[in-house]
Structure 1
Amino acid sequence: MVQPVTGFPGVTVETDVRCRLSDGVELLADVYRPEGAGGPYPVLLQRTPYGKQGAQSETAFAHPAWYAHQGFIVVVQDVRGRYASGGEFYPFRDEGRDGYDAVEWAAGLPGSNGRVGMYGFSYAGFTQLLAAVEQPPSLAAISPAMTNSQAYEGWTHNKGAFAYAFNAFWSSYLGIAEAVRRGDQERIEALSGALMHAPDNFWMAPEAFPALDRDITPYYFDWIEHPTYDDYWARWSIDSDYSRIQVPALHVAGLYDVFVSGTKRNFVGLRSGASTAEVAARQKFVVAPFHHMPWYPVVEVEDANSKVVDDWQVRFFTETLKETGTGTFESPVSTYVLGAGWRDFSAWPPQEAKMERLFLHSGGRANTRFGDGTLDTQTPGDELPDLYIYDPNAPVMSEGGHSCCVEELTPMGPACQCQREKARGLLVYTTAPQERDVDVVGDVTLTLYAASSAADTDWTARLCLVDEDGCSRNLQEGIVRAAFRESLTTPQPITPGEVYEYVIDLGPVSARVPAGARLRIDVTSSDFPQWARNSNSGYPGDGVPQVATQTVLHTAEYPSHLTLPMVPA
């Protein structure tokens, strides 16, 4: 049925339009069309598991009718096995081939000029990348927002640690929609109840999270049972070969998004690994001050709300699909610098960035923010190590961070760390007040030389900005499971008491450190429930939780340090 869209003269919507895939499964879509002179039109295709009627406009983008009003046919399709579409849903599995079929079908719709662009964020961003790998002839551009470069590292796991809060939440959310499809009211209530009480339920082991089972969410248990990067994961890895993607892309990231590192990897990977120089040059990276959803600035600013992404997408698709110059690619990187506003750069990290090392120091008592831990550019000498106790039954809790998808249930965004930094099981290292404004723009890493009394453990870190009033707010965080320190495919156990080097990737940062402010790194062994707790019982960690003594060294032989990209303000 074709109906006009109220308030948008000349825009119509046709609901439940059928797309028959090559294997016979039918997917349903809603199609929004601009009517009248000006056609034929390019097509914007969104493939979502969250309901075509919403089209992600309830959390992120403008409504499809708005995009149609800009001169595009907009197609919003339920992916296989979700909402109105047929087939069985299993995350990632069918999106490449289904995406190929959907693109070619969309290109042939009445009124189409045969050129298709794809948009959408999160899973609807990953569907674009998987489709692009298949190289459908009619695909001319993609805009994968807030999505990852693979389904393992940065999605379900981080350096061997299971991303508990995000994946339990996401699986429960997916399970509720599946229960609705089945008409199973009892299951709907059980999953909804477990989700609403997630902060309490996270204290259970990941495989025991209530209401999830192999019938309703089999994939969740598959993710847990594949803790290393193996063939199960490799089939969905975009970053294994970026030359397969041969179209321009607008990569939209959020500074507090769970996928900010993966979105950055896609941009950098396509800039350096695209099949042609032309494709490499037509990659754009926009970094907004958002967490995963809903899209609103984590700081009170007027020029960084969700409308910014809509505007960038119209500009990008006008250039790539309508072949009208808009200057989209003049500056490959446009990032919001927290505390300073938008800045344009020619690369990520910026070419003008100077990589600076800040070394950890203390007199052996860096525990809590009241301790003696410091950061500076001087290489450490003969210094006492810092020790703390990590008890898996009393972890250091997440305050804000990079998770998904509801702040009250899965901690995300910036948050005051002052209460967290009172824990003696946490080491705190802080710089002197900054003499002049400087911007940290690029990827931050912590190189840690450490030992544990356990047979396996985790090392976590949080980079914070401390203002002149002493408020410490998180900018980024990271983790490494000790057994995964060298490889995600072949974990190696550690010897208790032996010193190892651990490199913790904290990921992209874009923030101004104003004069008078300080940088801080917090080090501990848990960031819960963002990541599942390590039991300290030895990899794979199925034993009884054990208390461990953790030792962080900072000497000439073991110079633990933070590496930051510093850009003149």
Structure 2
Amino acid sequence: MLPGVALERDVPARMRDGTVLYADVYRPSSGGPFSVILMRLPYDKTQAQSLTYRHPAWYAARGYMVVVQDTRGRWRSEGEFYPFAHEAEDGYDTAAWAASLPRSNGRVGMYGFSYVGATQLQAALGRLPGLRTICPALTGSQYYEGWAYNGGAFALAFNASWATMLAMDDARRAGDGPATRRLNAAFLGAPGFYGHLPLSEYPPLKGSGYGGYFFDWLAHPSYDGYWRRWSVDEDYSRIAVPALHVGGWYDVFVGGTVRNFEGLRRSAGSAEARSAQKLLVCPWYHLPWTPLTGAADFGKEARNVVDGWQLRWFDQFLRDEDTGVLDAPATVFVMGENRWEDYGAWPPEGTEPRDYHLRSGGAANSRYGDGRLDEEPPGEEPPDVYTYDPLVPVASAGGHSCCFPVVAPMGPADQAAVEVLNGVLVYTSAPLQRDLTVLGEVTLTLHAATSAPDTDFTAKLCDVSPDGRSTNVQEGIVRARYRDSLSGPRPVPPGEVREYRLSLGPTAHTFRAGHSLRLQISSSDFPQWDRNLNTGGPPGRESAAEARVATQVVLHDRAHPSRLTLPVAPS
């Protein structure tokens, strides 16, 4: 069935606590010994993430033994599944087992994306000698900031749909037909449930007997010990292997992907590992990986190149061949120009921060207002005012959610329906006289006041073409109670002006001559993030009846210079 490849199904591996996990093993039909490439996933080993990667037989036909294992409590494997809980120990034990398989030469590499990137990073924490390299793709650096939460706001569409999908598979594994049918319908119809309040009674999962971890995520809205125990970015020196970090500019985890590259390049546990970190960022969202991403077609250069890079990477570190994969530490797709570019560092050397100040005559509401972005700092000018009603939130238009476009706002999208709302402040630059390339993290410094003891502020960077079409590039959020610390929330004194710093995440985007920069400011981006009910009450446990309308004031004068900061490449 697989020419030149021998497949052995359901090969058992016993973990240190006696739990048996099962894997499928693909070997070249003859020869050996072979280096092993390992994938550990909760999404069915028979599929092996072939929605994005080439089938394991493709790698086996090129001289590798490929091991694909169901993680603990998933599909064929024994035990109970709880996200992230067992991946460090099970990953270490599995890699050691894979290194000892018949016809293995003892060298192991790992690959996979999303949660399967997490299983690699967690396994690498143990420093198993036989684990020579990893290829974590489209994954985070921790599971609070950039995964379950962003700036203190719950990443609703992603986590609700993901938990429902995981619960559906748990029910199917248990042979619970009625629950499987209900959860499958709830997953495919997830957008119809996002509006339910309180979230602690989320209908698809409440009382289902499955997916209880979703409610644990809600019960830990701050960065505390629950999350810290799994955070890779708490100490990168624990990892000492070369790594190929693959990201997508519209992926939910792009910030974590870049952070892992930067952190390991700076602080990995050996000089060899620090010098062998590679960043590869494509223009995609979470999946699929194609030139057509949301409303944008990035052209033939944006085709899926990951398998080719991975094969060269494994040849370099498992076969000791010089394949040139480290000729440039960063290879990224520059959107707008739709081309690949190599850089000696990330962010690239020579980029300089450039401030674009929020300016208006006090009426920046909607694209038809008088808001503008200007390099000239403001003098004395009136603030902009809008109201935010949590029961009528601003709808997400594209974005960086996960994991399927049918259930979550993902990718570039036309912003017309958002920018006509008076509850959205819109600031637009004059048309650019020359190309402007942004390479690195985009940030916003916002001086604002609210009538509520807690609220959210959202920001979205857009590219406006000469015909007026506005397309999102990056976005961010801050929950006001977390303005100073993600671990120590504090209410906001109503009416007091505070400075908020929002990360809009990294990008590589060229705004072409004749285009304009645009910044949207609002207080909701739903359902990408949950709604702040403006009460200061316990997140996730309040009903719709408790929601309050907030009056928001954004200041941009000499004493309060609200500004967008872009890392701009030299002309």
Q: Do they fold alike, i.e. is TM over 0.5?
A: yes
Q: Is the 8 A contact 1:28 1:84 kept in 2?
A: yes
Measured in 2, the distance between the counterparts of 1:301 and 1:316 equals 25
Alignment map for 1:177-192 (pairs within 5 Å): 177-192=169-184
Alignment map for 1:478-497 (pairs within 5 Å): 478-497=476-495
Alignment map for 1:328-477 (pairs within 5 Å): 328-340=325-337, 341-477=339-475
Q: Is the 8 A contact 1:60 1:295 kept in 2?
A: yes
1:209-257 CA deviation, whole Å, 9 max, x = no partner? 2220362111100000011111111110000000000000000000110
Measured in 2, the distance between the counterparts of 1:30 and 1:408 equals 31
Report deviation, 1:566.
Answer: 0.9
AA of the residue aligned to 1:497: G
SS in 2 for 1:387: strand
Q: Is the 8 A contact 1:380 1:554 kept in 2?
A: yes
1:460-488 CA deviation, whole Å, 9 max, x = no partner? 01110011111100011110000000101
AA of the residue aligned to 1:174: L
Report deviation, 1:300.
Answer: 4.0
Map of 2:238 onto structure 1: 244
Map of 2:314 onto structure 1: 317
**1:18 counterpart = 2:12:** yes
* Aligned pair partner of 1:226 in 214, 220, 224: 220
Report deviation, 1:208.
Answer: 2.6
Q: Is the 8 A contact 1:191 1:210 kept in 2?
A: no
AA of the residue aligned to 1:46: M
* Aligned pair partner of 1:165 in 120, 132, 157: 157
1:96-115 CA deviation, whole Å, 9 max, x = no partner? 00000000000011111101
AA of the residue aligned to 2:309: W
Report deviation, 1:418.
Answer: 1.2
Report deviation, 1:539.
Answer: 4.2
Q: Runs of 5+ in structure 2 lacking a partner?
A: none
Map of 2:47 onto structure 1: 54
Measured in 2, the distance between the counterparts of 1:355 and 1:315 equals 35
* Aligned pair partner of 1:506 in 504, 507, 512: 504
Alignment map for 1:110-189 (pairs within 5 Å): 110-189=102-181
Measured in 2, the distance between the counterparts of 1:522 and 1:377 equals 17
Map of 2:548 onto structure 1: 546
When normalised by structure 2's length, the TM-score is 0.97
Measured in 2, the distance between the counterparts of 1:440 and 1:338 equals 10
Measured in 2, the distance between the counterparts of 1:175 and 1:324 equals 43
Measured in 2, the distance between the counterparts of 1:431 and 1:106 equals 56
Map of 1:327 onto structure 2: 324
Measured in 2, the distance between the counterparts of 1:409 and 1:129 equals 27
AA of the residue aligned to 1:404: C
1:270-323 CA deviation, whole Å, 9 max, x = no partner? 1111122221110000000110012212224222222x0001101111101111
Report deviation, 1:207.
Answer: 2.2
Report deviation, 1:398.
Answer: 0.3
Equivalences, count: 560
Report deviation, 1:408.
Answer: 2.3
When normalised by structure 1's length, the TM-score is 0.97
Q: Is the 8 A contact 1:483 1:539 kept in 2?
A: no
Measured in 2, the distance between the counterparts of 1:86 and 1:538 equals 43
Q: Is the 8 A contact 1:464 1:476 kept in 2?
A: yes
SS in 1 for 2:132: strand
AA of the residue aligned to 1:163: A
Measured in 2, the distance between the counterparts of 1:365 and 1:177 equals 50
Alignment map for 1:546-565 (pairs within 5 Å): 546-565=548-567
Report deviation, 1:28.
Answer: 0.6
Map of 1:265 onto structure 2: 259
Measured in 1, the distance between the counterparts of 2:445 and 2:341 equals 28
Map of 2:96 onto structure 1: 104
Map of 2:282 onto structure 1: 288
**1:208 counterpart = 2:201:** yes
Report deviation, 1:540.
Answer: 2.9
Report deviation, 1:512.
Answer: 1.0
Measured in 2, the distance between the counterparts of 1:467 and 1:18 equals 56
Q: Is the 8 A contact 1:331 1:346 kept in 2?
A: yes
Q: Is the 8 A contact 1:450 1:550 kept in 2?
A: yes
Measured in 2, the distance between the counterparts of 1:566 and 1:481 equals 28
Report deviation, 1:372.
Answer: 0.7
AA of the residue aligned to 1:476: Q
Measured in 2, the distance between the counterparts of 1:282 and 1:473 equals 36
AA of the residue aligned to 2:43: Y
Report deviation, 1:360.
Answer: 0.5
SS in 2 for 1:342: strand
Q: Is the 8 A contact 2:298 2:335 kept in 1?
A: no
1:326-381 CA deviation, whole Å, 9 max, x = no partner? 11111111110112210111111111211111110000000001111111111111
Q: Is the 8 A contact 2:283 2:298 kept in 1?
A: no
SS in 1 for 2:284: strand
Measured in 1, the distance between the counterparts of 2:460 and 2:60 equals 43
Map of 1:82 onto structure 2: 74
Q: Is the 8 A contact 2:385 2:554 kept in 1?
A: yes
AA of the residue aligned to 1:407: P
AA of the residue aligned to 1:262: G
AA of the residue aligned to 1:212: L
Map of 2:535 onto structure 1: 537
Q: Is the 8 A contact 2:426 2:521 kept in 1?
A: yes
- Please, what is the CA RMSD of the aligned residues? 1.1
Q: Is the 8 A contact 1:187 1:211 kept in 2?
A: no
AA of the residue aligned to 2:35: P
